[in-house]
């Protein structure tokens, strides 16, 4: 019972609650919140902000960014990890390292329970928007992309599954993963639309990186939806020849480590991510918490997206949104407990890795 109440203190029900808790916890710990304010308001009329808190060794050039809500609706787990960390801030001795918590990179998506922002832009594909001009990937559009766009109900979902299964049976699993999730730049209604210009989130990310220009930057970007239920996975884009690759092997080998440069089993190789903008992108890891399996997640995303474009704010749309929240944020105390436990474990290893690189 005690554990359950701890989790409910950290796992919020809405963006509005998460944002308030983050600010209140900072206040209680005597830390300052810097906010980047977005246009518009959230689903409860709240302000939409990306909030940051920094602490640690002020003399150190090593800075670890811990990020939540890059994919809006996935933000609940990351926000809970950040809140739990803030709650323990007095007991953590940080030497030769500073930590910057970045809460809700995509506050619109977090508040309105979408993975993307107000323009349906996937922030973690947006940084290559300028090199993928509209129409460039639209000339030979795959039937599966068209099917994803019209998946509005269970019948259409079964059709989508059958098309995907056929492709997988024929050995095209990795190609399908890349086709669907590596990002689309031709149609604003697509599920992993990377946008056509820099989003406000991307602009704020650049502004933040500018503040830490002379530092050695590390990134831990927290997501949910990929991988086995309740398991944490550490994803890295480091190339096999890099020293970051070796360090990852050393520090994260027991943490379901996946190097996406040569292993597409969990995620396609991505471009245009937050990490791609770091001075040293290999210093980034993505923390992925598995929820309900790839096809279930994809189906829930497609149905919510259909109603967003065709019946916005209808009953079906609200139902699809609530379902999407449940798919990315399992309400089970066990799942939540695992998220927090593995976060502490991976954070400890990440801090050790930073120390070892700069002794
Ligand atoms: Zn994600």
| Alpha-carbon dihedral 146, 147, 153, 156, rounded to 10 degrees | 150
According to DSSP, the residues that pair with 233 across neighbouring strands are: 288
Q: For residue 97, is it within any domain?
A: no
Whole-number Å distance, alpha carbon 57 to ligand 1 midpoint, is: 30
Rounded Cα distance, 74 and 78, in Å: 8
The tens digit of pLDDT for each residue in 237-287 reads 998 889 999 999 999 999 999 998 887 777 777 888 999 999 999 999 999
Per-residue model confidence (pLDDT) at position 1: 47
Per-residue model confidence (pLDDT) at position 291: 97
Q: For residue 348, is it within any domain?
A: no
Whole-number Å distance, alpha carbon 208 to ligand 1 midpoint, is: 21
Q: For residue 247, is it within any domain?
A: no
Rounded Cα distance, 120 and 193, in Å: 7
* Nearest CA among 35, 32, 7 for reference residue 105: 35
If you average pLDDT over residues 14-24, what whole number do you get? 98
Rounded Cα distance, 157 and 173, in Å: 18
Do 345 and 231 contact (CB within 8 A), yes or no? no
Rounded Cα distance, 245 and 201, in Å: 28
Per-residue model confidence (pLDDT) at position 317: 96
Per-residue model confidence (pLDDT) at position 357: 87
Question: By residue range, what is the domain housing residue 172?
Answer: 108-226+267-284+293-328
Token pair for 29:
């710990």
* Nearest CA among 80, 78, 69, 76 for reference residue 108: 69
Whole-number Å distance, alpha carbon 144 to ligand 1 midpoint, is: 21
Q: For residue 53, is it within any domain?
A: no
Residue 136: pLDDT band with limits 50, 70, 90? low
Whole-number Å distance, alpha carbon 233 to ligand 1 midpoint, is: 12
Q: Is 341 exposed, middle or buried (0-12, 13-18, 19+ CB in 10 A)?
A: exposed
Residue 25 pLDDT > 80 = yes
Rounded Cα distance, 111 and 121, in Å: 15
The tens digit of pLDDT for each residue in 280-339 reads 999 999 999 999 988 899 999 999 999 999 999 999 999 999 999 999 999 999 999 999
Considering the chain, what is the average pLDDT of its residues?
92
Number of domains in the chain: 1
According to DSSP, the residues that pair with 234 across neighbouring strands are: 257, 287
Token pair for 128:
């290559």
- Sorted by sequence, the CB contacts under 8 Å of residue 292 that are 6+ apart come out as 229, 327, 330
Q: For residue 112, is it within any domain?
A: yes
Rounded Cα distance, 284 and 238, in Å: 8
Token pair for 198:
């820099």
According to DSSP, the residues that pair with 232 across neighbouring strands are: 289
Residue 140 pLDDT > 70 = no
Q: For residue 212, is it within any domain?
A: yes
Whole-number Å distance, alpha carbon 270 to ligand 1 midpoint, is: 12
Residue 342: pLDDT band with limits 50, 70, 90? very high
**Which residues have CB atoms below 5 A from the ion given as ligand 1?**
71, 74, 223
Of 14-28, 83-97, 111-125, give the lowest mean pLDDT range.
Answer: 83-97
Per-residue model confidence (pLDDT) at position 5: 64
Rounded Cα distance, 310 and 296, in Å: 21
Q: For residue 236, is it within any domain?
A: no
Q: For residue 118, is it within any domain?
A: yes
């Amino acid at each position: 019972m005690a554990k359950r109440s701890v989790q409910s203190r950290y796992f919020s029900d809405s963006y509005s609650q998460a944002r308030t808790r983050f600010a209140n916890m900072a206040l209680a710990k005597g830390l300052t919140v810097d906010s980047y304010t977005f246009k518009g308001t959230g689903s409860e009329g709240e302000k939409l902000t990306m909030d940051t808190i920094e602490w640690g060794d002020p003399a150190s050039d090593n800075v670890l960014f811990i990020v939540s809500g890059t994919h809006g609706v996935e933000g609940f787990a990351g926000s809970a990890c950040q809140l739990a960390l803030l709650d323990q801030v007095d007991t953590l001795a940080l030497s030769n390292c500073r930590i910057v918590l970045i809460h809700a990179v995509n506050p619109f998506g977090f508040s309105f329970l979408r993975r993307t922002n107000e323009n349906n832009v996937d922030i973690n594909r947006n940084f290559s928007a300028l090199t993928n001009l509209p129409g460039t990937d639209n000339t030979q559009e795959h039937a599966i992309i068209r099917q994803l766009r019209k998946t509005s109900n269970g019948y259409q979902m079964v059709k989508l599954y059958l098309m995907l299964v056929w492709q997988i049976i024929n050995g095209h699993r990795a190609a399908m993963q890349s086709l669907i999730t590596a990002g689309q730049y031709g149609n604003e209604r697509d599920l992993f639309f990377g946008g056509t210009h820099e989003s406000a989130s991307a602009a704020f990310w650049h502004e933040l990186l500018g503040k830490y220009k002379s530092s050695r930057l590390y990134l831990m970007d927290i997501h949910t939806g990929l991988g086995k239920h309740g398991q944490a996975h550490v994803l890295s884009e480091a190339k096999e020849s890099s020293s970051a690759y070796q360090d990852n092997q050393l520090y994260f080998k027991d943490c379901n480590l996946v190097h996406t440069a040569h292993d597409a089993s969990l995620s396609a190789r991505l471009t245009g991510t937050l990490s791609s903008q770091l001075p040293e992108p290999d210093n980034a890891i993505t923390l992925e918490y598995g929820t309900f399996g790839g096809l279930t997640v994809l189906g829930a995303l497609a149905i919510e997206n259909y109603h967003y474009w065709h019946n916005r704010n209808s009953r079906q749309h609200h139902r699809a949104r609530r379902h999407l929240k449940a798919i990315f944020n399992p309400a089970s105390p066990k799942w939540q407990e695992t998220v927090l436990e593995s976060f502490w474990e991976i954070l400890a290893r990440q801090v050790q890795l930073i120390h070892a690189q700069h002794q």
